[in-house]
Amino acid sequence: MGGTGDGSLDLAIPALDTPESLLSFANTAVDCVGRTAELAELKRFITAEWSFSWWVWTGPAGIGKSRLAVELCRYASTREWHAGFLRETDQDEFGHFQAQRPTLLVIDYAAQRSRWLSDALVLLSRQHQVFPVRVLILERDTSGEWWSVTRRVNRLEESCGVTAAMYAEPRPMSGLDRPNARALVKNMIARLAAAPLTTGQVEQVVDRAEAMDPALRPLFVQVSTIDRLSPGEERPNRDYSLRRIVARSTAWLESQVATPQSAMLAHNLRFLATTLGGMTITDYESLHPLPDTLTDLLPGVFQRLGSSVAVDDLVDGVRPDIIGELFVLDRFGAEPTVALASARMVGYAARKWPDSYRGFVERLVADHADHERLLDLLEASGDGESALSDAELAVSVIQLLGRSDHPVIRWIFDRLDAAIEEGLVEGRCRLITTARFKVANLVRLEDDALRARDLYSEALADCDPEWPEYYSLLNNRGITLCTLQCEDLATTDFSTIIGSPSAPAEVRACALNNRADILDTRGDLDGAIADRSSVLELPGTSYDRRYIALFRRALARRKQGISNEAHDDVNRILGTADIAVEQKMQALLLRAQWAFDDGNPARAQADLDEIAASYRNFESVEKKAQELRDTFTKDSSTK
């Protein structure tokens, strides 16, 4: 698809209703259970009095992000909005976009599209929109480089415009509570036209879903329901149940194709499409003529594989993602011919569409970090000619492995050692430093501060001060030293960053705030205030750093008895366009608390009312504000 020629975009609201697609987010035959509150939040988002705004919603695979977005699009489209998902293949048309009516764009797989997305948000934040435009962004989390890229961190003018248009802080989604999980089970049973379950049987299905996934993600409630209705052994094991889904899908496909050769071609195409997060038939056509390594593995664009199976039925891959990822990994443990074919297709996908493939691998590692075939997939992802090509991708997913003793980490360093022996890299190179840095971060998260300190120090010893990693290493070592109560050594690390003109502004701001925290604890309020003020003078820092500096400078000034200047800092937070709504509400709570402390709770009421009326709050802020309101009400009633 492409643009319409009038400045609007082709947007799609995915819709499937076949029994085989029951687990797909696009299948609306099953109700979107337990998401009334979330949908209400999103309705407020699109109807708010903003010309343009965007919002990120996050959550793990199977939590229901895309399904919720479909529900929002369906709601918006009934109210004359142009709403739908913008496919990656259509995003190049965005440069000519001008809304012809209220428009809602859903951007899925945001991490692999972050550079384009960042450009799009800059463009929208600068345009005058006659009609409201909303961008709903879906991703697993906001960790990693993609989130910094999207917000244009280190490019202050552009970053301020983009962040000022952010409706609220990223919104994490959680799983279902048990009542809604029960409702989903019953809804699934009805859609499958199965005999109703007893109350006890429904509880057993929910129990099994919770054993597979303690968060009770909707996908696993659905999988547990299908397990209950399927013949064969039931186990409260996530991958066992997911494999049963794959096996049924495979059996159905094989029943539809004409020959074993057609089945092989169909499975291979679904495999390749899955490693790219799905394709369009146009994408697949662009691959032809296929390279020699794949001509015997994949069907022609218009080839019929059976009476009811065409190529364009297969290019979306195996969904949902977490099931498709398992399908891909398990193929590496299949018979040798299948494993070899899988390796060839993975290598091709990694070279042909590196961003899409990297996004797939990141999702796969997050969902299946302990799969016994993960190393096989990573090895196949290289070019087959050097030890370095597959190690580069593996280094990028170290943080997703979840633990520092993961066998993939040992393999990475073995590959890097081999690359040194081959003369591909020197012993002192950025990739090795990056790998060490990421492993040290894992160790720090495991609360092994001593080992983390040593790993940071070893990485620093081989790190060129001109590399960006150098200052991040210093900063994280400083934080680790604070954990070890070595504040003097930590201060030295932070001061090295602060004193270096080549350190990135964002890292310098972080170091200044960290050093100010140490000075605060030591009672050196003047020094702490000076460091906070320096943060605010730096160009190109994120709203988070500036918010921390203003909020904590206000606290320090209050301690010094300089109340007017403390209130000035709060007012500056409230008046800064790109500081998030939740942070502004936290500043209002601080001001309200001061009013109570000063014996003038009536002065706090306007701030507490504004917090109560806010569409977004940190949970702790909302709770504390209500406590203060209750205290004021109680005190007023006793007078």
Domain-by-domain residue ranges, the chain? Answer: 19-172, 178-236, 245-381, 504-579, 584-639
C-alpha distances out from residue 146 to 57, 143, 152, Å: 14, 8, 10
| Mean pLDDT of all residues in 226-232 | 84
3-state secondary structure of 135: strand
d(CA 622, CA 609): 11
The owner of tokens 């390594």 is 293
- What backbone phi and psi angles, to 5 degrees, belong to 137? -110, 130
By the 8 A CB rule, do 6 and 103 touch? no
Q: What value does the mean pLDDT of the chain take?
A: 92
Q: Quick one: pLDDT band at residue 6, thresholds 50, 70, 90?
A: very low
Is 90 exceeded by the pLDDT of residue 265?
yes
Q: At what angle do helices 336-352 and 354-367 cross, to 10 degrees?
A: 130
| Mean pLDDT of all residues in 309-330 | 93
Residue 176: name the closest of 34, 42, 278, 294 by CA. 34
Q: Taking the model in full, what pTM does it have? A: 0.90
Which amino acid, 140? R
Q: Quick one: pLDDT band at residue 19, thresholds 50, 70, 90?
A: low
Q: What is the Rg, in whole angstroms, of the alpha carbon atoms belonging to the chain? A: 27
Q: Which residues pair with residue 136 across a beta bridge? A: 55, 106
Q: Which residues pair with residue 575 across a beta bridge? A: none
Q: Which residues pair with residue 83 across a beta bridge? A: 104
Residues 6+ apart with CB under 8 A from 356: 88, 109, 112, 276, 277, 349
Long-range pairs, 76-81, Cβ under 8 A, ≥24 = 76/46, 76/102, 76/104, 77/13, 81/46
The predicted pLDDT at position 236 comes to 66
The predicted pLDDT at position 15 comes to 85
Question: CB burial class (10 A; 0-12, 13-18, 19+) of residue 548?
Answer: buried
Question: CB burial class (10 A; 0-12, 13-18, 19+) of residue 127?
Answer: middle
Other Cβ atoms closer than 10 A to 43: 15
d(CA 595, CA 589): 10
- Tell me the two tokens of residue 639: 């007078």
The predicted pLDDT at position 1 comes to 31
d(CA 180, CA 605): 37
Pairing of strands 304-306, 309-310: antiparallel
By the 8 A CB rule, do 23 and 138 touch? no
- Tell me the two tokens of residue 81: 């909005």
Higher pLDDT, 98 or 503: 503
Residue 241: name the closest of 252, 228, 250, 258 by CA. 228
Question: CB burial class (10 A; 0-12, 13-18, 19+) of residue 285?
Answer: middle
What end-to-end distance do the CA atoms of the chain give, in Å?
Answer: 69
Residue % of the chain over a pLDDT of 70: 96
d(CA 503, CA 496): 9
- Which CATH fold topology does 504-579 show? 1.25.40
The predicted pLDDT at position 287 comes to 92
3-state secondary structure of 155: coil
Q: Give CATH superfamily name and number for 19-172.
A: P-loop containing nucleotide triphosphate hydrolases (3.40.50.300)
Q: Which H or E run contains 57?
A: strand 52-58
